[in-house]
Amino acid sequence: MTDGPLIVQSDKTLLLDIDHPLSTECRRAIAPFAELERSPEHIHTYRLTPLGLWNARAAGHDAEQVIDTLIKYSRYAVPHSILIDVAETMSRYGRLRLEADPVHGLILVTTDSAVLEEVIRAKKIQPLLGARIDKETIAVLPSQRGQIKQSLLRLGWPAEDFAGYVDGQAHEIALKQEDWKIRPYQELAAEGFWHGGSGVVVLPCGAGKTIVGAAAMAHAKATTLILVTNTVAARQWREELLKRTTLNEDEIGEYSGAKKEIRPVTIATYQVMTKKKNGVYAHLDLFDSYDWGLIIYDEVHLLPAPIFRFTADIQSRRRLGLTATLVREDGMEGEVFSLIGPKRFDVPWKEIETQGYIAPAECIEVRVNLTESERLSYATAEVENRYRYCATTRTKRDVVEALVKKHQGEQILVIGQYIDQLDELSEVLGVPVIKGETPVKEREILFNQFRSGEVTTLVVSKVANFSIDLPDATIAIQVSGAFGSRQEEAQRLGRILRPKSDGRSATFYSVVSRDTIDQDFAQNRQRFLAEQGYSYKIIDADDVFQGKI
């Protein structure tokens, strides 16, 4: 027994003692392969999962490193069953390989013929296969490259894809680093992706994922399709590419509800790609009608199901996913792994903060009490309506007013889920609101006014969760959210993490109703940030009203 911060249990849970002096060091060491499940004050619970271990394996960590980390930090002897399980689970990745073949086109090769015998007998695998070539090899229908990777992952035998990629139509793209320099981690991320061929890069909001995309394009030197969350994000990508690369305006097209331009670099929105016309996805042929050398999926954790389905058919194109968190509340992380590719690069948020590339942030949870009438409405509400009742309490409005007054003169974002709540806050505070129905042109004007300081406070709905560059925002006040969504919490904190010109830190307030489902959801939402090393200070609403913070 040693005095380590970690307790490794035979049910694959890891308990991390947050008060231990080595807890931060340990958290960083286990982050590549363990997923945080709960993060109360003193003991955080992580879990070892096959997908987490396979992602670590794909990113270059082997079983020996994982086992050494567990032994190094464990307070007690690591259960022997865990050591065996880690080694065996990680050894499953890569025992099957997809390779190109001059005769058969695509083949599945194994280093373990018993595994091949097992998988080719699975009902969902058989229709994807061609002729048996020898004991270790079987042909795969080339059109089923994505489908077989999905099916093999579900069987617990993830295949490594060495079948290669088409180069696509060549197009000269280079970074122009005259008045700026690519950061070391951005360069490493782009190289990690390029050497892997396809996969996901995970970086904090504000850490310059667009630059990683531009660097990947400079590696590919080919026509590129970039998929983004909305039109505002599309225009920000366009501006960044014009600023950071040798591309000119004529070489970049926008494919959205407003425009349908197809150029050597085309930026399309997920909305337009998944829009149906007469029951058919009318724009999905943009994927395979052109000879793209690279497809970039911005905010890959939000990928809609139709895009997944189409991505399964374009496995010969290089694919780069960019995200701040691979967490998907729908449990579709496996689809990202098999169809976009495994995680190729990840770096803890606090590490980027230490290097000065994102702003330090303090996270504060403000707990409010429901009034007697609100408690009664909450208690008697239908289950599906309870969150709305407790998330939109009048006391929250009063807290927001007090916080905005306290931070007067700073750049403040008030963020929420319910439009009527946001409209009311906009009216009470006397500031603009940006929501789904706000026209793109008006959104851009308001965002620009916010950037220039002409507007210092904005009320925003979830349309501002993603890919919005507001470098001087220092305060975020969250009043309601998409239930217990961890990725939304990460995105919202990300709105204020751009480094400030004067070196100021940022503050993220989450206003939560005590003793309600709002409090339960808040704990779940905060899990991802706890994994990154952020802790929430909990204060009472009275402290805000009395000016004690």
Query: What is the pLDDT, as a whole number, of residue 355?
Result: 87
pLDDT of 278 reads 78
- Token couple for 492: 């919202």
Identify whether residues 436 and 523 lie together within a single domain.
yes
- When pLDDT is cut at 50, 70 and 90, the band that residue 466 belongs to is low
Asked if residue 72 and residue 27 are part of one domain, the reply reads yes
* DSSP tally for the chain: helices H, then strands E: 22, 25
- Among 441, 399, 396, CA closest to 421: 396
Q: Phi and psi (nearest 5°) for 19?
A: -85, -5
As a whole number of angstroms, the distance between CA 313 and CA 289 comes to 13
| Contacts (Cβ under 8 Å, ≥6 apart) of 430 | none
499 within a domain of the structure (yes/no): yes
pLDDT over 60 (residue 545): yes
| Higher per-residue confidence, 314 vs 265 | 265
pLDDT surpasses 80 at 326: no
> Which H/E stretch holds residue 19?
none
The helix or strand, by DSSP H or E, that contains position 124, with its residue range, turns out to be none
pTM: 0.85
The pair of three-digit structure tokens given for residue 485, joined into one six-digit string: 């969504």
Q: Are 443 and 486 in the same domain?
A: yes
The pLDDT of residue 319 is 96
Whether residue 255 sits in one domain with residue 110: no
In contact, 133 and 103? CB cutoff 8 Å? no
Mean pLDDT of 405-424: 92
Q: What's the rounded mean pLDDT across residues 440-452? A: 88
- In this structure, the answer to whether residues 330 and 376 fall within a common structural domain is no
Q: Answer whether residue 87 is part of any domain.
A: yes
**Mean pLDDT along residues 415-444:** 91
Closest to 544 measured CA to CA, from 413, 362, 363, 368: 368
Are residues 246 and 174 in contact, defined by beta-carbon separation less than 8 angstroms?
Answer: yes
Kind and range of the H or E run holding 317: none
467-500 pLDDT, tens digit per residue, is 566 667 889 999 988 765 777 777 788 788 887 7
HEC string for 233-290: HHHHHHHHHHHHECCCHHHEEEECCCCECCCCEEEEEHHHHCCEECCEECCHHHCCCC
Per-residue model confidence as pLDDT tens digits over 350-389: 888 888 888 888 889 999 999 898 889 888 988 888 888 8
What band does 42 get if pLDDT is binned at 50, 70 and 90?
Answer: confident
Query: At 140, is the secondary structure helix, strand, or coil?
Result: strand
Percent of the chain with pLDDT strictly greater than 70: 97
Q: Could you tell me if 289 and 398 lie in one domain?
A: no
Determine, yes or no, domain membership for 175. no
β-pair type (13-17, 43-48):
antiparallel
Instruction: Please check whether residue 38 is in contact with residue 527, taking contact to mean a CB–CB distance below 8 angstroms.
Output: yes
3-state secondary structure of 364: strand
Give the residue-averaged pLDDT of 28-45: 84
pLDDT for position 483: 60
Are residue 81 and residue 134 in the same domain, yes or no? no
pLDDT tens column, 198-247: 999 988 888 889 999 999 999 999 999 999 988 888 999 999 999 999 99
Q: Please check the confidence at residue 438 and state whether its pLDDT lies above 60.
A: yes
Is the residue at 179 inside a domain?
A: no
- Residue of 432, 493, 437 whose CA lies nearest to 463: 437
Look at residues 347, 378, 395 and tell me which one is the last residue of a structural domain.
347
* Lowest-confidence region among 194-208, 222-236, 444-458, 524-538: 524-538
Does a structural domain hold residue 171? no
The CA angle 95-32-237, to the nearest 5 degrees, is 100
Residues 141 and 232 in one domain: no
- Tell me: do 138 and 188 sit in the same domain: no
pLDDT band for position 412 (50/70/90)? Answer: very high
pLDDT tens, 332-348?
888 999 999 999 988 87
- Please list the helix, strand and coil fractions of the chain in percent, rounded to the nearest 5, in that order: 40, 20, 35
CATH at 524: 3.40.50.300
Query: Which domain CATH number covers 119?
Result: 3.30.780
Are residues 416 and 326 located together in one domain of the fold? no
Q: Which residues pair with 200 in a beta bridge?
A: 321, 343
| pLDDT over threshold 90, residue 321 | yes
**Residues 6+ away with beta carbon under 8 Å from 298:** 209, 210, 213, 226, 227, 228, 229, 233, 237, 322, 467
Count: domains in the chain: 4
The span from the CA of 422 to the CA of 388, in Å, is 13
Which residue among 162, 196, 218 closes a domain? 162
Tell me whether residue 177 is in a domain: no
Asked if the model's pLDDT at residue 1 lies above 70, the reply is no
Question: What is the structure's pLDDT at 2?
Answer: 67
* 329 has pLDDT over 70: no
Say how many C-beta atoms besides its own lie within 10 A of residue 21's C-beta: 9
Final residue before a domain boundary, out of 316, 347, 378: 347
Lowest mean pLDDT among 25-34, 132-141, 475-484: 475-484
Residue 174, in any domain of the structure? no
Query: In the structure encoding, which two tokens stand for residue 31, read together?
Result: 């982050």
Instruction: Measure the CA–CA gap between 459 and 416, rounded to whole angstroms.
Output: 8
Residue at 386 is within a domain: yes
Residue 212 shares a structural domain with residue 310 = yes
Residue with tokens 């394996």: 57
323 and 210 part of one domain: yes
The mean pLDDT of 79-94, rounded to a whole number, is 95
- What residues make up the domain containing 494? 353-545
Q: Is 412 helix (H, G, I), strand (E, B) or coil?
A: strand
